[in-house]
């Protein structure tokens, strides 16, 4: 992705891009879940990126799991 020197101002596109990446991940997950797409349909580089992001998100969610399901109680 090419960047332009605009004096440090990106007009909010960096935040929008990060949010859009999440939308694309969710879309790919939905397409895979519905059988419209297989992970192996994607280029190997894209497969690795998606897998890495899923692993990283899983690790992060483990650390953020504030409510344990172990006690079986529903709050």
pLDDT in tens, the chain (75 residues): 555 555 566 778 888 998 999 999 999 999 999 999 999 999 999 999 999 999 998 888 877 766 555 655 555
- Tell the residue number behind the tokens 């483990």, with chain if given: 62
Q: Which two tokens stand for residue 46?
A: 């894209």
Residue 43 token pair = 């280029």
| Tokens standing for residue 61 | 């969610």
Task: Answer whether residue 43 is part of any domain.
Answer: yes
57 belongs to a structural domain: yes
Domain assignment of residue 41, given as a range: 28-62
* Residue 3 included in any domain: no
The total of structural domains in the chain comes to 1
């Amino acid at each position: 992705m090419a960047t332009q020197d605009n004096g440090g101002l990106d007009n909010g596109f960096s935040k929008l891009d990060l949010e859009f990446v999440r939308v694309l991940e969710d879309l790919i997950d939905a397409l895979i879940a519905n059988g419209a797409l297989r992970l192996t349909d994607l280029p190997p580089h894209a497969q690795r990126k998606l897998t890495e992001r899923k692993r990283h998100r899983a690790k992060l969610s483990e650390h953020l799991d504030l409510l344990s399901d172990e006690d079986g109680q529903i709050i």
